[in-house]
Every structure is written in structure tokens, then in C-alpha cells.
Amino acid sequence: MNITDLSGQIFGYIPLGDIVLYFTPFNLFLLSIVLLFTIFIALSNTETQVEARFGTLQDREVKVDKSEFKIRRFLAIVCGLATAGAMITGDLFNFMLFTALIGIINIGLVGAVKIVDVLDSAFQYGIIAMIATLPLFGGAAIILAATGTLSLLELSNRAASPMVSFGSILIMAGIAGETGMAPFYATKAEMFRTPGSPFLLIIHLSSLLVIVRAVEVLLIIN
């Protein structure tokens, strides 16, 4: 499908050698959401979760200490920037790399919590993410073999062949595993249950935007 039909007119390119970043109204919309949220994260403090107790009227505050807070904020900003990169890239393999990077950072974000259930689900999400890199990168490689190019701007002009469709199906499976779509959403939802929002919201936002952009990419290719 033509990029202009799908996302609006192309405003411009930033060609970094092989990898061309391109801007359309759709991309810019997603990019601005991500950058806005990243700026919010950079400027915000962490929350303090308040838990009620049985038997008394006092509440218990669950806080994140300062060094952990700083590391988490840094990782959340990097996750936001990786999502921003994934939104505007015009190279298929580059998009897969950003998606895998987002997956790794999501695990790192919850790596320092002291709750065993969260660490359990982070471990299981990590295993699924590792398994999902096979269809993710393998699908991109099959599309490279079938068409000879990885550039989205070039792929939009070609008709889809069965090999390209097979590669797209593999990419869909890889995105589903990496971003935590069904049926892998259970672990990713459990990773969230730790003090330290609003940074942890980047976990959900990055997955959401990557899924939307992945649908656009697959429509461009086919």
C-alpha cells in the first residue's frame, strides 16, 4: 500500500545513509505523543503508593528510594526515546531493533523491585521476548530475501508476493510476543504492579505505540 494513502503526505526525510527517517502526519502524531510523555517522565517525581492496613486506621507508604528512582527514570526516558525512534524509522530491520530494545528496557525497568511476583513475571516476559526475536528478525530477513530491500519507502511500491506475506505473518507473531499482545499480555500486566509509576506507564505506552506502528508497517509492506 502506498504510504501517502495510508499515513498522509510525506513531509520530509532524514536520510542517515541506508536508514531513512520519514515524517508523515501519522508518524508525527505518534512521535509527539511519545516525546510529550518522555518529557513528563523527565520532569516528574515518583509516586508513593499508599496501602491500607487491617486493624488500624494508619496507612503504609511504599516508596522507592532515591537511587532506584533515578535509575528507573533514566531507563524510562531511554524507553521513550527508543519508542520515538521506532515511530519515525523507514527501515524495517531498524524498527525490529527498536522493538527488541524496548523489550529489553522494559525488563530492566522492573529489575530492581523487591517483589518476587513482579520478578517472576518479568522473567517469564523475558523468556517470551527472547523466543519472539526469532520470528521478528527472521521475518525481516525473509522480506529482505524476497524483495532485496529493507527500506519501507521502497517496499511500498512493490506488490506483495507469498514470501513477503509469510515474512509479514512471522513479524506479526514476533511483535505479539515482544510487546505482550494476547496471549502473552498476562506477564506484562503483572510486571506493572510495583511502586514507581508514572515511569512504569512507559511500559504500556511503548507497547501500544509499537503495535499501532507495526500494523502500519505491515500494511505498507503488503
Partner 1 sequence: MTGAEVLVPDVVSPTVVAIYGPAVIVGLLTALIALIGIAFKKGDLTALILTDIVGLGMLIIVAAVSTDLAEALILPGLVVELAEILVISEILMSREMRKTGKNVKLAPFPFSMNMEILETAPTFFAIILIAYGSFLTGFTGGAVAGVGILFYVISKTARGVPLHTWKGVGAISGMGWTLWLVGFVVLFVAPQLWLLGLSMSSFGILIKVASKVGLVGIIGREEFKRKR
Nearer to partner 1, 80 or 126 (CB): 126
CB-based contacts of 56, cutoff 8 Å, min separation 6:
none
Which residue in 86, 102, 150, 214 binds partner 1 (CB under 8 A)?
150
Residue 147 binding partner 1, by CB under 8 A = yes
Nearer to partner 1, 36 or 134 (CB): 134
Number of C-beta neighbours around residue 96 at 10 A: 26
Residue 198 binding partner 1, by CB under 8 A = no
Q: Is the distance from CB of 125 to CB of 188 less than 8 angstroms?
A: yes
Q: Angle CA(141)–CA(143)–CA(145) in degrees, nearest 5?
A: 70
The rounded distance, in Å, linking the Cα atoms of 168 and 139 is 6
Which window, 3-11, 38-46, 58-66, 144-152, contacts partner 1 (CB under 8 A)? 144-152
Residue 215 binding partner 1, by CB under 8 A = no
Cell of 199: 515511569
Binding mask 160-179 for partner 1 (x = CB under 8 A): -xxx----------------
Count residues near partner 1 (CB under 8 A): 41
